[in-house]
Chain A
């Protein structure tokens, strides 16, 4: 069996073939590091395969691949109480599963966590099974007053650090949504 690094490198090659930008992924990871993040708990989505690989292959971070998105919330919430900066990185569908964990853990105890998720269901998303995210993702986030922002282009990448610190400031989760065009280096 491949080592986790070899498997991660294979994933990188696949993401290259799919048209996603390693350069953008590295910029996102660098911004996370500069913000004070040292732990990344992740679940995959094609769009962020490069970003996950960058976390995995970067010794500045502990990368924890998790079994489900709620586990990422658990780990990142605990990490906060250990004084460790963290990010939960996932696809939009995974974010849609988090209403319980966020409202029960993060809202009840006022524990900040920072999330990044793909902005699925957009006009340029070819996947029919992500239409539901286009219809409901932002409505769901709004329904639980979950603060979120969309990174529309490279010039707005600095909003990642702002959103991370904003989470600490308001003692609540914040979410950064990553569109396809941005992750392909076209935004």
Chain B
């Protein structure tokens, strides 16, 4: 499947989840398709930390569902994140790891181990029980309910093709993202994010 059609279809199934995207393509496509500026934290300065960031949100907002997007460039840098996610076992967190075997935000420079890295197997080796792997969009559509809609922490590996044309970053500076996202959290929960 292509990266764009993967994100576009997932965005079509997006309801009330809070979303954290990562450096480069997932942030750019998600913003291009949804235009959302309140329920999405475009963590472009993430370099392997988007799912950890999302885990912090999911821990503090246990009645909210959280989708985290990362890439295999990030995964290779910090595969140990899965040990932490498995330990936290947050039932409201889904981790979508989009793999295209290149560092997509830096001119598609090839990844180490690009031909042999078996991300689903690595996740299982960390003890993650709900691991899903899709390289075909129809397969993703058919199994979306079990992988994403059902409660329980899931690691979902999505194999896509490298991207050549990207739409560019969401047009917001960091503090604006923080306040938009944080104010929305305050509105949809009884939590106070910002101090007076």
Interface residues of A (CB under 8 A from B): 39, 62, 64-68, 70-71, 73-84, 86, 100-101, 104-105, 108-111, 168-169, 171
Q: Identify which of residues 141-196 in chain B touch chain A, using a CB-to-CB cut-off of 8 Å.
A: 174-175, 177-178, 181-182, 185-186, 189, 191-193, 195
| Bound Cα distance A62, B59 (Å) | 9
B181 CB contacts on chain A under 8 angstroms: 81
Q: Which residue of A lies closest to B60 (CB)?
A: A82
| Contact between B78 and A67, CB atoms less than 8 A apart | yes
Contacts of B83 in A (CB 8 A): 67
Chain B: interface residue total (CB-CB under 8 A): 40
Give bound CA distance, A168 to B87, whole Å: 28
Please give me the 8 A-B residue pairs with the lowest Cβ-Cβ distance, nearest first: A78-B56, A82-B60, A74-B52, A83-B191, A67-B80, A84-B60, A74-B49, A104-B45
Interface flags for B36-51 (1: CB within 8 Å of A; 0: not) read 0000010101111111
Structural contact, A75 and B55, CB atoms closer than 8 A: yes
> How many residue pairs between the two chains, A and B, have CB atoms under 8 Å in the bound complex?
120
Interface hub of B54, B78, B83, B178 (most chain A Cβ within 10 A): B178
Q: Given A80-B193, A104-B45, A109-B178, is A67 in contact with B56 using a C-beta cutoff of 8 Å?
A: no
Q: Indicate the member of A39, A78, A82 with the most B CB atoms within 10 Å.
A: A78
Chain A, residue nearest B44 (CB): A108
Residue of A nearest to B79 (CB): A67
A75 CB contacts on chain B under 8 angstroms:
52-53, 55-56, 59, 84
Decide yes or no whether B76 CB sits under 8 A from chain A: no
Measured in the bound complex, the distance between the Cα atoms of B81 and A166 in whole Å is: 29
> Of all chain A residues, which has the CB nearest B49?
A74
Residue of A83, A110, A168 contacting most chain B CB atoms (<10 Å): A83
Looking across the interface, which residue of chain B has its beta carbon closest to that of A39? B59
B-side residues, CB < 8 A to A, are 20, 41, 43, 45-61, 78, 80-81, 83-84, 87-88, 174-175, 177-178, 181-182, 185-186, 189, 191-193, 195
Q: How far is A109 from B192 in the complex, measured between Cα atoms in Å?
A: 18
In the assembly, what is the distance between CA of A77 and CA of B181, in Å?
13
**Least distance between A40 CB and chain B CB atoms (Å):** 12
Q: Which residue of A lies closest to B20 (CB)?
A: A78
A70/B185 contact (C-beta < 8 A), A78-B57, A80-B193, A105-B43 known: no
In the assembly, what is the distance between CA of A108 and CA of B173, in Å? 8
- Whether B45 lies near A78 (C-beta < 8 A) is no
Of the A-B pairs whose beta carbons lie under 8 Å apart in the complex, a sample of 22, sorted by A's number, is: A39-B60, A67-B80, A67-B84, A68-B80, A70-B49, A71-B81, A74-B53, A78-B60, A79-B57, A79-B60, A80-B193, A81-B60, A81-B181, A82-B61, A82-B193, A83-B193, A109-B43, A110-B174, A110-B175, A168-B195, A169-B195, A171-B175
